[in-house]
């Protein structure tokens, strides 16, 4: 199969998985990104200029609030990426794990550490004339799913992501980068539509942040998980099986 056909078939798989799992994905996204959108809206609406920064108590309160908002946002993103990896690879003859079970199974410590390192490396790379940041975005972009699917350490997940992407760089690049760029553009358009409908209010900002994340975040998460499964299978000969449907497969009826 030619590279273009492989790439096209991969996008088809992402679309099919998205629509097959849409009910589960949207439920999880609402649970995670509705409160996360509220946090983002609070951060956006925070008027630092109006605060009395001469007051040590207010400065301490401001730092504590920003730290809490940042930590909560990170946990929300981590929860969702882990939830997708767990949901898409549950056994075909079982129902998808519930929210509580997913919350118990996610390795928050490792995923948060991987996310922090990943963002730091990409940002530093972007400051070094963009290209190193783009390379880091691609080569380390599968480290999150690797943590959940293979239970790797933080360092091991970053190294494993690099190993998986090496030799398949252009496939990963042409899946993750366009989804990220197009998703950002669509998210901004959705945000403008929400503001046009609801006005420029705090509620509108909350809804704009939430709607764009609820609709678009599942696409990137699915792409990352599918790429990880595909490349693990290529490298090792086998990988956790993708469950194409959220409902259990009926057991065969014995004659």
* Residue 251 belongs to a domain: no
Please state the domain count of the chain: 1
**Confidence grade of residue 195 (pLDDT, cut at 50, 70, 90):** confident
Q: Is the dihedral of CA 23, 27, 32, 38 positive or negative?
A: positive
pLDDT of 51 reads: 52
* Residue 114 reports pLDDT greater than 80: yes
* Residue 250 belongs to a domain: no
Smallest CA-to-CA distance from 82 within 92, 90, 70, 94 is with 90
- What is the C-alpha to C-alpha distance for residues 159 and 157, in angstroms, rounded to an integer? 5
**Confidence grade of residue 186 (pLDDT, cut at 50, 70, 90):** confident
Q: Is the dihedral of CA 122, 124, 126, 131 positive or negative?
A: negative
CB 207 within 8 A of CB 197: no
* Residue 242 belongs to a domain: no
- What is the C-alpha to C-alpha distance for residues 181 and 187, in angstroms, rounded to an integer? 10
What range defines the domain where residue 206 resides?
Answer: 3-236
* Residue 241 belongs to a domain: no
Element (H, E) at 249: none
pTM: 0.80
């Amino acid at each position: 199969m030619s590279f273009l056909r492989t790439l096209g078939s991969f996008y088809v798989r992402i679309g099919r998985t998205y629509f097959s799992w849409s009910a589960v994905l949207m439920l999880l996204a609402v649970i995670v990104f509705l409160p996360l959108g509220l946090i983002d809206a609070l951060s956006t609406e925070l008027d630092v200029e109006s605060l009395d920064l001469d007051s040590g108590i207010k400065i301490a309160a401001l730092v504590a609030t920003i730290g809490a908002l940042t930590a909560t946002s990170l946990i929300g993103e981590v929860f969702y990426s882990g939830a997708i990896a767990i949901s898409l690879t549950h056994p075909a003859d079982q129902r998808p794990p519930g929210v509580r079970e997913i919350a118990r199974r996610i390795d928050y410590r490792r995923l948060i550490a991987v996310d922090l390192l990943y963002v730091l490396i990409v940002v530093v790379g972007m400051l070094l004339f963009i290209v190193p940041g783009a390379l880091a975005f691609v080569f380390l972009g599968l480290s999150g799913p690797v943590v959940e699917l293979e239970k790797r350490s933080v360092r091991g997940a970053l190294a494993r992501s690099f190993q998986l992407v090496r030799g398949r760089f252009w496939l990963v690049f042409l899946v993750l980068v366009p989804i990220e760029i197009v998703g950002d553009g669509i998210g901004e358009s959705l945000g403008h539509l929400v503001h046009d409908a609801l006005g420029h209010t705090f509620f509108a900002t909350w809804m704009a942040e939430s709607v764009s994340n609820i609709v678009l975040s599942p696409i990137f998460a699915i792409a990352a998980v599918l790429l990880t499964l595909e490349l693990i299978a290529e490298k090792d000969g086998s990988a956790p099986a993708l469950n194409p449907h959220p409902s259990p497969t009926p057991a065969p009826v014995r004659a």
